[in-house]
Structure 1
Amino acid sequence: MSEPIYDVAQLGHVELLTPDLEASARFFTDTYGLFPVGETKDAVYLRAWNDDVLTSLRLTATTHPGLGHMAWRTTSPQALQRPVDALEARGIEGEWHDGDLGHGAAYRFAGIGGHVQEVYFETEKYVAPPGEEPYLPNQAQRFIPHGAAAAHIDHINVLVPDVAAASAFQQETLGFKLRERLTPAGGDEVGAWLSVMTKAHDLALTREPSPTEGRLHHLAYAVESHMDVIRAADMFLQLGTPVEFGPAKHSRTQGFFVYVIEPGGNRVEIFTDGIHIFQPDWEPVTWTTEADGRGTAWGTPVPATFHSWATPPLEASLEV
């Protein structure tokens, strides 16, 4: 067993691209339950009620939906340099930039699979304004739920042409730990679930079925309980956003979930539970099929769109 690396602490923030910034911002605020904290001519910044940082989501106006970048916060300033050294030793030509609203200097690079990632440490903590202070001081702000009441950013799932290679890259350069993988009998790895600390996953890698790269499957925020997921499904329907998939339970990660497509075209998830891994010598669980042939833990059917839709849409990604 190689020495585990704990330089990366968490998924810090994500940038989603949208062709309809106004509609996406309205969805994430009114329906998904986030809070706006800043905006520019072509971007809106948001946070969930229990994110302890100023912002965890940037929405950027562009032609097609998709992932702008995903950002990993390190455990310390010193820990920031080590993954940069590992990336550069591997021949990755990244670059430093001065930061963005809510965070400081970051090293940006493209990983295997074409997705833009960055690592950073300095971040602006959220301070509740007068009247919004939490009753419990270990919460970020007063909890007055609206919409689906997403609590904090949780994980991201991206499509990659070579799951095993992309998984190895994240492990070897950023210290991700492989928790579970899906490898059909006699076939190549088609899914991998990795985390940086004890969660079931911070990053999921799913095999890209088309001749392209850099696409997003979904971004997930967490809530606190199963009932919050069910409430979120009701909120989505009440507020005019059709549910694509769920509520149901995943086989891998054992998370309880519901998925929708936001107005810009990106898939988002409300998620809770999921296994936590405390063993330092955890052996990755290899699945050769779904549990007893079912698509989910309880046998809930998986809609065809879940395997066919990703952003940017295929025709748009092939134009790049």
Structure 2
Amino acid sequence: MPIPAPNLYPPFNIVRLSHVEFVVRDLAASRAFYVDTLGLQVTDESKDEIYLRAMEERGHHCIILKQGDQPRADHLGFKLFDESDLDKAEAFFRGRGLPVSWVERPFQSRTLRTCDPFGIPLEFYTRMDRLPPIHQKYALYRGVKPLRIDHFNCFTPSVDDSVAFYNEIGFRVTEYTEDEVTKRLWAAWTHRKGGVHDIAFTNGLGPRLHHTAFWVPTPLNIIDLLDLMSTTGYVGNIERGPGRHGISNAFFLYIRDPDGHRIEIYCSDYQTVDPDLEPIKWDLKDPQRQTLWGAPAPRSWFEEGSLFTGVEPVPATLDAQPIVAP
């Protein structure tokens, strides 16, 4: 199935990804991981919730940790350009027969909750409380020194259908993996903000959240985090890497939080702001596609992901498999 032509004039204007809400079983354990180990900054907390931001972010939060019985990803958040875009978004999703509701969220302006055709819960807003800058308060930098949230990656039962839908709302494909036998998409990377991706899609049982990624200054920050995790009880939480992706050219590390939510630590991808930038095609069987160098991804990386609240995943319609580590 061919990559759709970029939709440069979508029905509403998404600026970028914004935040994710994770349901966790032990809020204290999650705090120790995200704050004391990774180095995210607490912006608000109670006995049931913790709000976090990274060092360059002025918005109030990029991760919400919420106490619950079972680990879940509750929703993916996106920032829209202005208030009129919220009403346009409501009309768009309602017109597609998808559920829409207005919800109250702390530290955010009015917020639209909806979902994509496969059920990924999405929330859209225009304004979040702005906080003073801290990116030059170097005494606060800890762990991997996370600068900003970078992207989501989701399992979907049909990458072709997911790409087609998100293309409608303005996400442009930067790179993609095609199965040469069926000519269908196995994975695709799509963006709004001018990086390689704000949200990517991977073939598999879905929808599920594969990972949430954070941008860091240099590969050395990732090495420092590995040293820290290996000596503070988190060596078993290191899942894959370090290495360099062929797709995106990024230096990466994948780790798991205490509930199994996957986090990618990420740097060194490239700019994609030109509207006529051609997508880069990869063959599913190219071993340098997923790993330009480094150990191949383990089976868990292809099979495990976070369930979304209230969403039952379904099997992928494409039966194809890249190289998997033994």
Q: What TM-score does the superposition give when structure 1 sets the normalisation length?
A: 0.87
1:218 aligns with 2:225: no
Matching residue of 1:41: 47
Say if 1:244 and 1:83 are closer, same or farther in 2 by CA, change over 3 A.
same
Matching residue of 1:131: none
2:220 maps to which of 194, 204, 227: 227
CA distance in 2: counterparts of 1:199 and 1:84, whole angstroms: 26
How far is the alpha carbon of 1:78 from its aligned partner?
Answer: 2.6
1:5 maps to which of 6, 9, 13: 9
CA distance in 2: counterparts of 1:143 and 1:117, whole angstroms: 35
Output aligned runs, 1:127-142, within 5 Å. 127=132, 134=134, 139=135, 141-142=137-138
1:78 aligns with 2:84: yes
Say if 1:290 and 1:248 are closer, same or farther in 2 by CA, change over 3 A.
farther
- 1:49-96 superposed Cα distances (whole Å, 9 cap, x missing partner): 221111111011222223110110012223333333222222222111
Partner amino acid for 1:306?
W
CA distance in 2: counterparts of 1:182 and 1:196, whole angstroms: 19
Give unpaired runs (5+ residues) of structure 2.
Answer: 314-326
1:261 maps to which of 256, 273, 279: 256
CA distance in 2: counterparts of 1:124 and 1:254, whole angstroms: 34
- Name the SS for the 1:190 alignment partner: strand
- Give the number of aligned pairs: 302
- Name the SS for the 1:54 alignment partner: coil
1:159 maps to which of 132, 155, 163: 155
CA RMSD of aligned residues (A): 2.2
1:301 aligns with 2:300: no
CA distance in 1: counterparts of 2:285 and 2:65, whole angstroms: 34
Say if 1:148 and 1:162 are closer, same or farther in 2 by CA, change over 3 A.
same
Bigger mean CA offset, 261-270 vs 287-296: 287-296
1:53 aligns with 2:59: yes
CA distance in 1: counterparts of 2:126 and 2:189, whole angstroms: 24
Say if 1:293 and 1:31 are closer, same or farther in 2 by CA, change over 3 A.
closer
2:188 maps to which of 177, 192, 209: 192
Task: Give every structure 1 segment of 4 or more consecutive aligned residues whose post-TM-superposition deviation is greater than 6 Å.
Answer: none
Matching residue of 2:21: 15
How far is the alpha carbon of 1:236 from its aligned partner?
Answer: 2.1
Say if 1:11 and 1:282 are closer, same or farther in 2 by CA, change over 3 A.
same
- Name the SS for the 2:307 alignment partner: coil
Q: What TM-score does the superposition give when structure 2 sets the normalisation length?
A: 0.86
- 1:2-38 superposed Cα distances (whole Å, 9 cap, x missing partner): 6503711111111012122221122101011111121
How far is the alpha carbon of 1:232 from its aligned partner?
Answer: 2.1
- 1:225-259 superposed Cα distances (whole Å, 9 cap, x missing partner): 12222222222223221221111111111111111
Matching residue of 1:124: 129
Say if 1:65 and 1:225 are closer, same or farther in 2 by CA, change over 3 A.
same
Partner amino acid for 2:120?
H
Say if 1:292 and 1:52 are closer, same or farther in 2 by CA, change over 3 A.
same
> Are the counterparts in 1 of residues 186 and 284 from structure 2 also a CA contact under 8 Å?
no
Matching residue of 2:322: none
Partner amino acid for 2:234?
T
> Are the counterparts in 2 of residues 216 and 312 from structure 1 also a CA contact under 8 Å?
yes
2:36 maps to which of 30, 38, 42: 30
How far is the alpha carbon of 1:39 from its aligned partner?
Answer: 2.1
- Name the SS for the 1:51 alignment partner: coil
Partner amino acid for 2:92?
A
> Are the counterparts in 1 of residues 245 and 288 from structure 2 also a CA contact under 8 Å?
no
Matching residue of 1:202: 198
Say if 1:143 and 1:169 are closer, same or farther in 2 by CA, change over 3 A.
farther
CA distance in 2: counterparts of 1:293 and 1:144, whole angstroms: 37
1:171 aligns with 2:167: yes
Matching residue of 1:92: 98
Bigger mean CA offset, 17-26 vs 257-266: 17-26
- 1:171-200 superposed Cα distances (whole Å, 9 cap, x missing partner): 21x311111111110233121111013110
CA distance in 2: counterparts of 1:282 and 1:294, whole angstroms: 19
- 1:140-183 superposed Cα distances (whole Å, 9 cap, x missing partner): 755532122211111111111111111111121x3111111111
CA distance in 2: counterparts of 1:150 and 1:237, whole angstroms: 18
Partner amino acid for 2:196?
A
How far is the alpha carbon of 1:309 from its aligned partner?
Answer: 1.7
CA distance in 1: counterparts of 2:154 and 2:290, whole angstroms: 19
CA distance in 2: counterparts of 1:140 and 1:88, whole angstroms: 43
